[in-house]
Amino acid sequence: MNISLEHLELIPKLLNEIKSLKLNQAMSSEKRWLNTRELSDYIGYSLDAINKMVKDDVFVDGIHYYKPSKKLLFDKNQVDNWIVGIRDESVKNRVNIAVENIMSGIK
């Protein structure tokens, strides 16, 4: 079996691709939707505190959680964004400002 130098040079690239695929697979196998108890364990807040945040609209229906039946299901990705301070309102505000700028340029 003869392996050319060109093929040998591809080995590090292939290894990086394999590592990337393994990482993506591991990340996608994590549970995305959490019930209230799982969320409590995940973020370290009490059940009462989470229920109060839902009631006070700290967690927003349709963004941070959904209620397909009687149980709340929290989107882990959106809760993570909330924890690190990424607010959907800031994104909405930036979009609104961009739209206003575009519309004022059309007039």
Sequential DSSP letters for 30-77: S--EE-HHHHHHHHT--HHHHHHHHHTTSSPBTTTEE-SSSS-EEEHH
| C-alpha to C-alpha distance for 44 and 58, rounded to whole angstroms | 16
pLDDT in tens, 21-60: 777 666 566 789 999 999 999 999 999 999 999 999 899 9
- pTM here is 0.56
Please report whether residue 21 resides in a domain: no
Contact 18, 7 (CB under 8 A): no
Q: Count of domains in the chain?
A: 1
Distance of CA 29 to the CA centre of its chain: 14
Through-space distance between the first and last CA atoms of the chain, rounded to whole angstroms = 70
85 located within any domain:
yes
pLDDT in tens, 57-88: 899 999 999 999 889 999 999 999 899 886 65
In which domain, by residue range, is 86 found? 33-106
- Domain membership of residue 96 (yes or no) is yes
